[in-house]
Structures are given as C-alpha cells and as structure tokens.
Amino acid sequence: MTQPLRLGIAGLGTVGVGVVRIVQKHADLLEARCGRKIVISAVSARSRSKNRDVDLSDYAWEDDPVKLAARDDVDVYIELMGGSEGPAKASTEAGIAAGKDIVTANKALLAIHGQALAEAAEAEDQVIRFEAAVAGGIPVVKSLTEGLAGNEINRIMGVMNGSCNYILTRMEDAGLSYEAVFDEANQLGYLEADPELDVGGIDAGHKLALLASIAYGTKVNFAGVDLEGIGSVTIEDIHQAADMGYKIKLLGVAQMTGRGLEQRMSPCLVPDTSPLGQLQGGTNMVVLEGDSVGQIVLRGAGAGEGPTASAVMSDVMDIARGLRISTFGQPAIGLREARSAHSAIPAPYYLRMQLLDKPGALGKVAKLLGEAGISIDRMRQYGHDDTAAPVLIVTHKTTRTALNEALEAFESTDVVSGTPVAIRIEAV
C-alpha cells in the first residue's frame, strides 16, 4: 500500500502534542517500519491560539471535533480529549459512522461505552485501538490481544495509577501523612482536575475493566469493579505493614472464579520483596498470568507525553501495516455478560485496631474471629498509652464475608476503640 495514512487528531494537550512531535520527528522511520507514509491532515482543540511549542501550520484546523472525525482527508481519527460523554463520545461515533478507524487514549469512554462503540465499529469493518488508555507506554493491551492470545488468563494484577503509587511511596519515604502528600501531589500537577478519579481508584478501575474484557471474553463491566481508594490509608498502616514485611499498593486484580468475574481496585498488602512491592514513584506495573506462559511482569511509565504518545503511535502503526484486530481481542458481538463476583477468592488480611486496656481484651477479639471461622497467623502489639494499644493481626486465608462478620461483632464489644482497619494481602 503506497497511499499515506492520514490522521486527524482531536485534543492537543500533553499527549496530542506528543503524537504530533513523533510524526514530525520520525517521519522516515515510521514509513520504513510500516511501508507507507503517516501524515497529519487536520487537528482540533479547544483553543487555536494557545502556544503548544509545536508547529501546526501545515494542518487544517477544525473547531468541532465531530467535523474533524468526518473529514474526507482523514483515515484514522485519534481522540485524545478525554471524558466518557460530550465531544469525545460524539466525535468517536461520527468517526465510526464516516468509516474511520479509531485510536484513543480515553479509558473512561471505553469503560462506559466500549461495547456499543466496538459493535458499531466492527459492523462497518473498522477498528478501535486503545493501547494508550491503559498503563501509558506499557504494551499491555497488545500483550493480551496478541502475545498471550494462546493462553487462558488466570489473573491480571497491577498498579495502574502512578499518582496513587507516588502518594503511597512518598508517604513511606518521607514519613508524611496522606493529607500532606495529597496536597503536595496536587500542587505538582500529578492529580486529575477531579482528584477523586485518581485517589478514589476510578481511573485505575476503568483500566482494569478494559483488561478484564480482553482477558475473559466478557463485555466491559466497569459497574462490576469493587472500588476502594487510598484515602483511608494512614502513615501508621504503612509503617506497621512494613514492619511485618509488606508494602501497601492500590492494586487492581481481575480473575474468573466459579462464582463469576471478580474485579477489585483497592489498597492491598504485597510482599516487600516482590516486584510490585519494590515499585516506586509514578511507575506502573501489570502482572499477567497465563496457563501456558506462567507469570509475566510489565513495568514502565504509566503516563506522560512520551510514553502515552508512543502507545498511540503503536496503534497507528498497526493500522498502517494493515493489522485488523477486534477491539477487545474477539468480535464484540460474541462477548458475554459476566456475573460479578465480589471478593470470591479467600485471602489473608491485615487487621489494625485499638484495643482498650481491659483484662481479656485480646481474648475477646480472638474469640470473635474464631466464631467467624477466621484463624490468626501472626499478631503484634505496640506500645500503648493509659487507655488503649494498637494491635496488628495477620489472619490466615478467609473470605471478606467472614471478615465483615467479625468486624461487625467487634462493634458490640467494649474492648475495641474506633473502627478497625482491614486490608487484603494479595499473593504475588
């Protein structure tokens, strides 16, 4: 094929500008690797006058991304605006209707509307590619759809939000509270305009739902992701977990169980010697476990201009080469509904509580755990004041249902002060 592949780019923020720079800087390299020129025909953004430190003078400008997506001189519509509704959704639908292939970094759009968009695109023999929507520059979508296509995936696990990993590692390294590091990260621009998308686990939950769809052949079900953010993690939890050989991470886990598809995005303890335990700063890591390949670990930058633009261009290059893969690895019309399973796989848990200084207090707690069918693996008590002492308990494997039963029973005792903290310990 000798005709150039013509791109229309909507959204000229960090990632959009990064894509423009790659096309301009590596024009000859891109052509050599895919056998045809890759050119930009037109662009769109909120402001035409903004200084972006990149030359856009050779490209047509469209104020309306819907019009950009439908232009005759655009073969691939690249949507980099973000958001699950509004212009992002409308322009993507317009691009599909106009016969364009779609490349996007928009995990929210696909987590909410991915099934409908995939069915519409595939009905017209178009493709939707979204490597940049999950874990930045890490090629995890390509790994699942191509490299591991011959495997039954047993589990997906990973740290998929660099901002949360920065906060947790910064808390540990500097001995600072969550509130202090949250404010620092916000001032540095590490958090979304709505920080809850990051610290509430929503952004990472979108990514997990997309990966689970590919891995298990199911319709994307973001509503089925159990979400818990990092706002309740204290510096005491971080220090005391470290004392017992663990690190706390906002960890996404997806696996198919006998009860259905389990999808969790929540703080978990992982061994400090594991790859996930050693992950620092804003880096992402995704662990994939296949029945034939075993466990593979993908680590790299989860955001930023270069890594995310690199992922966008990976998708563009595949389209230029003529590679046509269904959006979620198999035809969207054949994806099945998955029953949601909640904490179906038993696991050990870390418990931290304040025990009042009363005779038999620890015995009462142990008795209530036993009545819920929970046995104690390890226990540690720290220095106390005149009224209470912090106690840490690591349980043997149990279900979250049994644990909740014990936690509710604690409320009726006169020996536990405040609300105990319970964090799952994930085997890695």
Q: Annotated catalytic sites, by residue?
A: 207
Cβ-contact 271, 123 below 8 angstroms = no
Element (H, E) at 241: helix 235-243
Residue indicated by tokens 């790859």: 275
Bridge partners, residue 78, by sequence: 9, 103
Q: CA-CA distance, 158 to 1, in Å (whole number)?
A: 39
Residue indicated by tokens 């309306």: 64
User: Amino acid letter at 336?
Assistant: R
> How open is the CA angle 378-380-386, to the nearest 5 degrees?
150
Q: Which tokens is 51 given?
A: 């200084």
Residue-wise over 66-99: b if at least 16 C-beta within 10 A, else e? bebbbbeebbbbbbbbbebeebbbebbbbbbebe
**What are the angstrom distances between the C-alpha of 345 and each of 148, 257, 263, 286, 401?**
24, 8, 11, 20, 11
**CA nearest to 111, candidates 250, 223, 11:** 223
Residues with Cβ within 8 Å of residue 398, at least 6 apart in sequence: 346, 347, 348, 349, 372, 373, 374
